[in-house]
Chain A
């Protein structure tokens, strides 16, 4: 799967309260969560983000609460992929489980600027900066997690497992 989109950059330790504040957790309707995606990090983000756009962040993206509403909001906002230097553990797990593509690459994060057009090839983990022509290799997923993603998420994976 190949994505191409405009980059929105964020800093270190973007927590799940910033991704989707708890004041909106009285629903889990993806469209409604998307309307407030990243609101406490960048109040304009829900208005300006377009389908296919890419979030690029520094270290420890998604720290804090276990709320799956965070990756749901990002996915429903149309974001095709999140690239970060590192992800907080629960967010990483949640993103894999619901099928939000995430990639780890410190080099890519350092080099990519706000507004750059970036192309991502998910299968290979190749990240291409269309502005500079430079490409970066993301850390590959463990095989088992790749299986979950190939199935389309954990529920599909478990369904197959139960059927066997």
Chain B
């Protein structure tokens, strides 16, 4: 019986020829990641082991991105804990403000993750790297601590659901809509403990930035990982970046899937996820009455250059609606600089939007755009849970960057073709 791409990557890191779904295995890790919220807990746990070194100074990555630049004294203390640990243990991949970006935009950009890698991160959106054909999954801080000590982690070999996207992708529809379609279909626990494998002609033609948006939100369906088999688009992105050798895996033709879902994208519209779950999706044309107070464009889901390009192309020559605020977060310093060079930042500022330093900030209700009671935000982020962006009685609607930009102009949820 054949194996899926996810099973093959796990097998290779467990030193096994073959694996079956459901087996509990111990794997060697290529990379272990933490941020300024999760790493301090991991460091405290790691310290309990009394070790003088981490398993590999090159393979532990620390990115203070959640509450940085530090939003308050406590956050500054947490960031300092991470900084001191990085210095004390000689962590090579610590990213200080100035080189830092949102972790899941930063690691692929810096070539720290490549196809075939096995990565765990103490952040649920670690699944983003599946866009490169890596097996990447989120864990908690104690798993991170154990992994920093041993370079290993245990896994239950997952079953996979295959998601086939076929047809020609309409204008203004992208990876964000593809993944919202799947989440809306199977629900927020539809892929619990499972791999989500994305394929089909619409995926083959999908840009790498759009693929990152898709894999990023696998966790919103409960997925253990989301993965897209590497192809020419993957290699074009990875070549010149990868800091380590990488390996291309593909699912076997006779691999067994727990389920298969097929979507005809040619009939798709951009989707909106209504409060308070990402599964509450509906087409943008069915959402036109929702007035909004704040638009957020950015995050590990949609803070990449193509996302900013889309937003800028719509905002250019327009002013944002006077009754709302627009906050734009480039994912990394490199993306910020590229957006600056291409004139997108000028477009944003001229339109009345503000542009922030890279940070997770408002996406998780941390800082830089918190909602008051009763306010509504439309965001290109990944979660719309109760209180996610601020007050427990505020609301978050999720969408792609084109819808966010068009809505910023109109002041209500708006389809891109209306502006």
Contacts and interface: CB of A to CB of B under 8 A. Distances in A.
Interface stretch (B139-147, B288-296, B345-353): B139-147
B142 A94 contact: yes
Interface string B50-93: 01000000000000001100011011001000000000000000
Contact of A65 (B124, B222, B224): B124
Contact of A59 (B121, B122, B189): B189
A22 interface: yes
Interface string A80-98: 0000001011100110011
Contacts of A65: 123-124, 364, 383
A53 interface: no
B140 A93 contact: yes
Interface stretch (A117-125, A129-137, A152-160): A152-160
Interface in A63-81: 63-69, 71-72
A67 B140 contact: yes
| Chain B contact residues: helix, strand, loop or mixed | loop
A63 B188 contact: yes
Contacts of B365: 17, 21-23
Q: How large is the interface on B (under 10, 10 to 19, 20 to 34, 35 or more residues)?
A: 35 or more
A60 B72 CA distance: 33
B140 A22 contact: no
B164 interface: no
A60 B78 CA distance: 30
B75 A26 contact: yes
Indicate the member of A21, A71, A90, A98 with the most B CB atoms within 10 Å: A90
Contacts of B14: none
Contact of A93 (B143, B188, B364): B143
A40 B276 CA distance: 12
Interface of B: 24, 37-38, 40-41, 44-45, 48-49, 51, 66-67, 71-72, 74-75, 78, 121-124, 126, 138-143, 145-146, 149-150, 154, 156, 188-189, 192-193, 219, 222, 224, 277, 364-366, 370, 383, 385-388, 392
Contact of A154 (B67, B146, B188, B387): B146
Nearest 7 CB-CB pairings of A with B: A94-B140, A26-B74, A60-B189, A68-B140, A97-B142, A66-B124, A22-B364
Contacts, number: 141
B188 A17 contact: no
Given A17-B364, A66-B139, A88-B222, A158 B192 contact: no
B50 to A, nearest CB: 9
Interface in A30-67: 39-41, 43, 59-60, 63-67
15 contacts: A13-B277, A17-B385, A21-B387, A23-B370, A25-B37, A25-B67, A43-B392, A59-B189, A60-B192, A69-B41, A89-B192, A154-B142, A155-B45, A162-B51, A162-B149
